[in-house]
Structure 1
Amino acid sequence: MEKRTKRKKTKKWWILTPLIILFVIILVVGGYILSIINNVEDTFNTKMHEPIESIDTEKAAKKTEDAKPLNILLLGVDQRGDDPGRSDALMVLSLKPNKEEMQLISIPRDTRTLIVGRSTEDKINHAYAFGGPDMAVQTVENFLDVELDYFVRINMEGLKELVDELGTITVDNEIEWSDGNYQFTKGPVEMDGNKTLAYVRMRKQDPQGDFGRTERQRKVIQAIINEGANVGNVTKVHDVIGIMGNNMASSLNFDNMKSLLNNYRSTRKNVTSYLMEGSGETIDGIYYYIVPDEEVAKVREMIIN
């Protein structure tokens, strides 16, 4: 796999996971949505708001009101049925209004680290499976030695509902494959919700593995954004908010989100992204991604400065 040693500019879209894009949508058009949907506050506070012990909500709210730099843990979870799922996408979003900067740090899901609360080393994405967002937050804070102010989680199953609500979406597919149920040819591919899930979940047939899957997820969300922007779909905003309420959770409440909309818009002027670097290693028959201490220290400096 090609090494990435420089900070990526926003045109490197492959690293932007569905979770990130949905969150940026809220920052960009959230004010409009909040002004036309009467029950958004209720959706945020009763369906999406999920406070956790490891985050001091009063301290985070004060920092948000005062437009201080914030660190938000973003979790993309592929949860099915009663399985709590693992955090397939795990990123730290740093908002720095003093620098008018938004920074995205992606942590490879197989990264080996101490799982806080279990006193064992394991893949970092297992923290969510073991103890939900609370353990995930504590584990990432310990790994990077930074303070997290909020978390946001979205279940990938919500993509299916979003696509079906909008009708269909079309993406420009770059590799050809079949999963037995659907045939994906190169070029434009029109998809309903079920086909969309098959498209974003495939990994083994992609020569880029997880990185290729992330790029396909990005394309799907971009297609959802484009379809949702159509005038004919404006009346569906209410239903889209409902779907997000059923598939998204956050320690942010409605007032926190309003403060973000008011105080952090300037952070969209300069968006950078970075994928933590390391190397693969098999330990006791299990594959892990080993991130050296020097890389962890480098990323910590990127976040706090």
Structure 2
Amino acid sequence: MKRFPKIVLLLMSVILMILPVVFGLMLYLETKGAINDSFLDSKKSKSSLRDKPVDPSLDHVSVLFLGVDDSNSRRKGGQKANQSRTDAMIYTTFNRDKKQIRMVSIPRDTLSYIPAVKYYDKITHAHAIDGPKGSMESVESTLNVPVDYYARINMEAFVEVVDELGGIEYDVPFNLDEPNTEDKGRIKVKKGKHNLSGDEALAVVRSRKQDSDLERGKRQMQMIKAIIKKAQKTNSINKLDDLVKIVGKNAKHNLSFEDIQTLATSYSSSIVTIKTEQVTGTDANFNGSYFFNPDLENLVKLSNKLRKDLDLPKTNKKQFMNYLMTQTYGDLMPYIEVTKKSLKQGNGQINKSDSADTVEPAIEPDSQESVQQPSEQPSVQQPEPSAEVPQEAPSQEVPQQAQGNEAQSGIPNEQQPSIETY
């Protein structure tokens, strides 16, 4: 059985966040046949934001990592994997020249355009509507960057991995009372330092009742570091052989064995910098449902960092659908059907021959998605579309300029990659 360098396991453990160690094991432990068993080709063969398909052996590439709320109990209840919501979305770039990996955490309730249904909704619903393809297209719409590949894993795998590692040391920020993996009991953990079991660790990274979607993203990033710390121990690595079977039944992706092998060998050096970022924004309510409204300036800034990683031209806010939507309606509005005709690139004018009707959502919010949020958060109102908006021509794309405030890549020791958090 071919074994990839230890650093690859650590890197992929970081990248996959609450998808973490399992997919890394696929790189570290599995044979070609086992990897191919978890291969599930997406309908999306090439990003519409790419001129041609990418080759990881030659190009800088991106991978969207998806953690879904799929479990054995939910499958018994009739839920299919492609109908599950995403609890974690990590958009990741791999830059071959810099030996750099950048991860962007996208809050699950981010208000995002879903091309499959032609309206804005929570980005977590994109996967339930159209599977991995739906998530890939929604992330492209939100960040204005291509998604080349995806990897999806369910929460049962995360639980089993943490348990196999012997638990994860973590300082829980508040008292927890969350459903367990099977939705048949409660996970209760008191505030303070604990060695968390898999179920307890999952409750920490999924909970958002005590604070917010944004804070949950921060906890997920903290959990990354805790998993790295535990996975670095030789004894932990030796325990992982039994987890090979978990990958085959719980992970799906559209990376070929050759793609994975290329990524593993390209980023096997200890001189690898890992940068973490997060989509920021504000809380909002629409008809009693909570949404996370992303900040456009933050999206543009993130997009240009990611586009620079991928050696793509610089973008500007006028090239984002969110900009066109706000120019037309004053804000991002869920459940309004919008098309290329109703939101024209460059001026956002409404074509009066198109109606802008509110539609019934394909996915109804569940009880956890309608939790009470802080009393001061704004309420999103349904405005009348304006007849005219400023008619500004989109700026020409220019080569990406160096980011002036980028942190410098350090050279980590042989056991741990450099991690920079923004």
Alignment TM-score, normalising by the size of structure 1 = 0.76
CA contact (8 A) 2:39 2:254 kept: yes
Give, as a single letter, the amino acid of the residue that structure 1 aligns with 2:306. Answer: I
Match of 2:41 among 45, 51, 66: 51
Counterpart of 1:101 in structure 2 is 100
Q: Say whether the 8 Å CA contact 1:173–1:184 is kept in structure 2.
A: no
Residue among 48, 61, 68 paired with 1:77: 68
SS of aligned partner of 1:128: helix
Per-residue deviation at 1:277? 2.1
Query: Once the 2 structures are TM-superposed, how far is the Cα of residue 130 of structure 1 from its aligned partner?
Result: 0.7
CA distance in 1, matches of 2:188, 2:289: 32
Change (3 A) 1:288 1:268: farther
Taking a change above 3 Å as real, the CA distance of residues 186 and 101 of structure 1, as seen in their structure-2 partners, is same
Cα deviations across residues 202-258 of structure 1 (Å, max 9, x unaligned)? 332x3x333554455556666655655655565543321211222221111211110
- Report the Cα distance in structure 2 between the residues aligned to 1:152 and 1:75, rounded to whole angstroms: 6
Distance 2:15 2:243 in 1: 24
Contact conserved, 2:25 with 2:244, CA < 8 A, in 1?
no
Match of 2:173 in 1: 175
SS in 1 for 2:55: helix
Cα separation, partners in 2 of 1:210 and 1:279, compared to 1, 3 Å:
closer
2:161 aligns with 162
Task: Give matches, 1:141-160, under 5 Å.
Answer: 141-160=140-159
- Aligned residue-pair number: 276
Match of 2:57 among 27, 41, 65: 65
Residue 40 (structure 1) shift = 2.4
CA distance, structure 2, for counterparts of residue 268 and residue 199 of structure 1: 31
Find out whether 1:129 has 2:121 as its counterpart.
no
**Residue segments in structure 1 that go unaligned for 5+ positions in a row:** 1-13
**CA deviation map 1:20-51 (0-9, x unaligned):** x4389469xx4xx34xxxx52222101x2111
Residue 281 of structure 2 corresponds to which residue in structure 1?
278
Which string of whole-angstrom CA distances, capped at 9 and with x for unpartnered residues, describes residues 136-177 of structure 1? Answer: 1112122322221110112112122224445x4142333352
Structure 1 residue aligned with 2:243: 240
1:40 to 2:40 alignment = no
Deviation at 1:16, TM superposition (A): 7.9
- Tell which deviates more after alignment, 215-224 or 76-85: 215-224
Equivalent residue letter for 1:243 = I
Q: Does 1:202 align with 2:201?
A: no
Residue identity in the other structure for 2:130: G
Over 3 Å counting, the alpha-carbon distance change for 1:274 and 1:257 in structure 2 is: same
Bigger drift between 93-102 and 171-180 goes to 171-180
Aligned to 1:262: 265
Q: Per the alignment, do residues 115 and 244 of structure 1 end up closer, same or farther by CA in structure 2, a change over 3 Å counting? A: same
Name which one, 1 or 2, has greater alpha-carbon Rg.
2
SS at match of 1:258: helix
Q: What's the Cα RMSD here?
A: 3.3
For 2:255 and 2:16, the matched residues in 1 are separated by 21
Q: Which runs of structure 2 are paired with 1:210-225 in the superposition (5 Å)? A: 210-214=213-217, 216-217=219-220
Specify which structure has the higher proportion of helix.
Answer: 1
Question: How big is the shift at 1:272?
Answer: 1.6
Q: Sequence identity of aligned pairs in percent?
A: 29
For 2:244 and 2:223, how far apart are their aligned partners in 1?
Answer: 18
Per mean C-alpha deviation after superposition, the further-off stretch among 105-114 and 217-226 is: 217-226
Give yes or no for contact 1:55–1:148 (8 Å, CA) kept in 2. Answer: no
Report if aligned partners of 1:278, 1:292 keep a CA contact under 8 Å in 2.
yes
Contact 2:87 2:108 in 1 (8 A): yes
Distance 2:131 2:34 in 1: 21
CA–CA distance in structure 2, aligned partners of residues 73 and 177 of structure 1? 31
Structure with larger RCO (C-alpha < 8 A, sep 6+): 1
Counterpart Cα distance in 2 of 1:143 and 1:276:
10
- Native 8 Å contact 1:15 1:215 kept in 2: no
Cα offset, 1:298, TM superposition: 2.2
**Cα distance 1:242–1:183, how it changes in 2: closer, same or farther (>3 A)?**
same
The separation in 2 between residues aligned to 1:261 and 1:301, in whole angstroms, is 26
Q: 1:114 to 1:187 in 2, by over 3 A?
A: closer
- Distance change in 2, residues 1:106/1:221 (3 Å): closer
Local SS of the residue matching 1:138 = helix
Higher strand share: 1
The yes-or-no answer on 1:303 pairing with 2:306 is yes
**Partners of 2:172 and 2:204 within 8 A in 1:** no
**TM-score of the superposed pair, with normalisation by structure 2:** 0.57
The 3 A distance-change label for structure 1 pair 124 and 202 is closer
